[in-house]
Structure 1
Amino acid sequence: MVKKFIKSMSLALALVLAFSLAGCGKNNVVSDEDSLKTPEQQIEENKKITDEQVDLVQFDTVPAGAEVAFIETSMGDITVALYPEHAPKAVENFIALAKSGYYTGLKFHRVVNNYMLQSGDPTGTGTGGESSFKDESGNKVGFEQEYSLNLWNFKGAVGMAPSGDGTNGSQFYIIQNSVVEEETLSKMQEAAFPQKVIDKYKEVGGAPWLDGKNTVFGYIIEGMDVIDEIAAVEVDANRAPVEDVIITNITIEKY
């Protein structure tokens, strides 16, 4: 079932991702003009992106003193590098929620082996959760996507899980897929993904069909074995673990 889902998504990559990624630069800005372009026009824009414009920061050494998220779970501990310079709102939101204790006691409500884990919903249903941001009236509000040529959905990526654009709240996912199929890699070539990115996906795996759709704001630097163990647990028909896997605490620490 999961393989069929991934395959069907990969068939749409050339159109969906080209449409979403065009216009994304180091400043994470997608203009209204870009959003009105046809998929064919977007692919032409993607062709202008060079490997020199892409810095795969997820594979750089984390600088000493940088803030990281230390996630304690009922199955082990995970350390996440954060990228405020590339996804400032998402990182600010995650840190604020973590420091407030929002995530403590929440479960991984969705686990799909060879794809991803998802958490951050107090209802445990995948339909709840709020951001740390408020409007002028003090009401909680979602926030927009942040795209960067420097952050991708490689295995180990941590990203926001919204219900639509502008609806980022508290839910987040962790990519666990270790193999990107040749068919998907071929579609990425057609969509004019940077070759550096395609090569890295082939090397480490990931979920490229999420690129240009969801905000990546972190990357697992320790505890990927824990992620793989969680991904392998027994799940029910709704892809929820039969035995709850819980986030017992998240602290923000200096690396």
Structure 2
Amino acid sequence: MTFLTALFASLMLLTGSAVEEPTSSHARIKTSMGDIDVELYTEEAPVTTANFIEYATSGYYDRLVFHRVVAGTLIQGGGYTRSLYRRPTTLDPIVNEATNGIKNEHGTLAMARYADPDSATSQFFINLKDNPFLDRTGEVYKKDAGYAVFGKVVAGMEIADAIGMVETGPAEGEIFFEKDVPVKPVVILRIDPISADEVGVTAGE
């Protein structure tokens, strides 16, 4: 399945139209430490995957960094430059699709957001272990809304784990980051569409 076909399928799902298409796509997160290939859940998280695809194919993610590394727990990126200034987002915030019930388990890809459950824009994170505290637990309070999982790592998890072990500390940028910022920037070179057949071919190199 081509990436454009997957994009079409996800956009059709957004409009509520029925399509006879596979329900997953793939992308490669090329970083300064190696490649991470991900499968995207276009059926289970259609809004989130369409948003991610649009940011990726527009070049928005090019040369941004993983600005937050919580050792052995998660790595987060997709919003800040090397100098730790926020790149202005180009799309509106999206609805929180944590209602899909997919857990924040080891190797999953999820959306970062602010306190408002429907505030996610471009930033994402990769879970380096099972993180049940990030799952949706209820509908009454914002703190129970959870963080939407929209994919999983299918090749290059060793790269994600390696990023999760880099030296971190405080850093000054657009705001002051008290902790968890890599001392040596881990750069997202770009995020590319790939076919299922390409998964793992160059990941980790």
With normalisation by structure 2, the TM-score equals: 0.71
Once residues 151 and 125 of structure 1 are traced to their aligned partners in structure 2, the CA distance between those partners, rounded to angstroms, is: 34
Instruction: Note the alpha carbon deviations across 1:162-186, whole angstroms, 9 max, x for none.
Output: 1121111001011012xxxxxxxxx
Match of 1:94 among 49, 52, 56: 52
The answer to which of 145-154 and 66-75 deviates more is 145-154
Check whether the contact 1:93–1:132 (CA below 8 A) recurs between aligned residues. no
Once residues 172 and 127 of structure 1 are traced to their aligned partners in structure 2, the CA distance between those partners, rounded to angstroms, is: 16
Once residues 84 and 102 of structure 2 are traced to their aligned partners in structure 1, the CA distance between those partners, rounded to angstroms, is: 24
Map of 2:31 onto structure 1: 73
Map of 1:208 onto structure 2: 132
Larger Rg belongs to: 1
Instruction: Note the alpha carbon deviations across 1:174-206, whole angstroms, 9 max, x for none.
Output: 1012xxxxxxxxxxxxxxxxxxxxxxxxxxxx1
| Higher share in helix | 1
Following superposition, the deviation at residue 148 of structure 1 comes to: 4.1
Once residues 65 and 162 of structure 1 are traced to their aligned partners in structure 2, the CA distance between those partners, rounded to angstroms, is: 25
Map of 2:193 onto structure 1: 252
Once residues 103 and 150 of structure 2 are traced to their aligned partners in structure 1, the CA distance between those partners, rounded to angstroms, is: 9
Following superposition, the deviation at residue 147 of structure 1 comes to: 2.4
Following superposition, the deviation at residue 72 of structure 1 comes to: 0.7
Instruction: Note the alpha carbon deviations across 1:91-135, whole angstroms, 9 max, x for none.
Output: 0000000000110101110001121000011356888456553xx
Match of 2:162 among 220, 224, 229: 229
Alpha-carbon distance change, 157 to 143 in structure 1, aligned in 2, over 3 angstroms: same
| Higher share in strand | 2
State the secondary structure of the residue aligned to 2:51: helix
Following superposition, the deviation at residue 65 of structure 1 comes to: 9.5
Match of 1:171 among 109, 123, 135: 123
Map of 1:106 onto structure 2: 64
Structure-to-structure mapping, 1:35-184, within 5 angstroms: 66-123=24-81, 128=86, 132-133=90-91, 141-163=92-114, 164-177=116-129
Check whether the contact 2:96–2:148 (CA below 8 A) recurs between aligned residues. yes
Segments of 5+ residues of structure 1 without an aligned counterpart are 1-62, 134-140, 178-205
State the secondary structure of the residue aligned to 1:109: strand
Check whether the contact 1:130–1:170 (CA below 8 A) recurs between aligned residues. no
Segments of 5+ residues of structure 2 without an aligned counterpart are 1-20, 137-145, 171-178, 197-205
Percent of aligned positions that are identical: 36
Instruction: Note the alpha carbon deviations across 1:220-239, whole angstroms, 9 max, x for none.
Output: 01011001111111001321
With normalisation by structure 1, the TM-score equals: 0.57
Once residues 130 and 71 of structure 1 are traced to their aligned partners in structure 2, the CA distance between those partners, rounded to angstroms, is: 20
Map of 2:9 onto structure 1: none
Q: How many residues align?
A: 158
The answer to which of 232-241 and 91-100 deviates more is 232-241
